[in-house]
Amino acid sequence: MSYVICEYGKVKEEFPEFNATMRELRSRLIEKATEDWKPLKFGGMAPKAGEFGETTILPVLFADITGTRMTTWSQWFNATGSQTIMTGVGSQGTIPEDFKVGLVGLAFLDKAIRISEFKMQISDKKLPRINIEEAFAYEQPAIVFEEGFILDEEQGFELVAYILSQGPQKIKLIGVQLNRVPNKVQVTNTGAAVT
């Protein structure tokens, strides 16, 4: 698995390959959703009846280190060492039904980064460990994958990290999300539960 470490705010201008990676992943995700959710068609960010919608990745699809549904990307690390810091919020750590996520990276939105490495598991696929100590020199580092991953509905997702210290940490998933039932996503109601 190849990746690049860069400043989150400068991903687009300093890592032009990101646009190609994001376009390719979004295209694959829309193609998969169109096939899986027939007869629905892609409706973009303002879907109408008979269409599925698109948003950025919302934290309410994930549970934090304590197993609590996230309403923001902020969480409190309450233990050190190797810990599961994020999973799908569905049963047994899955992405909820009616949602598909295209993941191209992670952004660390705090000055203090409390982890030194992370690894992910998507369904039965275990991805290799990524050491991010180099990212400590950045203001708001981002880890951008050279190839995106699809987190399918009712598929397991787990993000495990080696935590160096307890305290607040804000880790945002970078990518796109598709929603089969647009009115399940209350984008105007911050923190609304996805059911």
Bridge partners for 130 per DSSP: 118
- Give 25-81 pLDDT, tens digit per residue: 999 999 999 999 999 999 999 999 999 999 999 999 999 999 999 999 999 999 999
Q: How many C-beta atoms surround the C-beta of residue 59 within 10 A?
A: 21
Q: Are 65 and 77 in contact (CB under 8 A)?
A: yes
Task: Output the CA–CA distances (angstroms, integers) from residue 29 to 114, 167, 177, in the order listed.
Answer: 32, 35, 9
Q: Cα(139)–Cα(13) distance, rounded to whole angstroms?
A: 16
Kindly tell me if the per-residue pLDDT of 187 is higher than 70. Answer: no
Closest CA to 141 of 120, 170, 181: 170
- Residue with the larger pLDDT of the pair 79 and 187: 79
Q: What is the DSSP string of 61-104?
A: GEE-TTSPBPSSSEEEE---EEEEEEEESSGGGBPPTTEEEEEE
pLDDT score, position 188: 45
Q: Cα(93)–Cα(72) distance, rounded to whole angstroms?
A: 18
- Give 142-185 pLDDT, tens digit per residue: 999 989 999 999 999 999 999 999 999 999 999 999 999 876 76
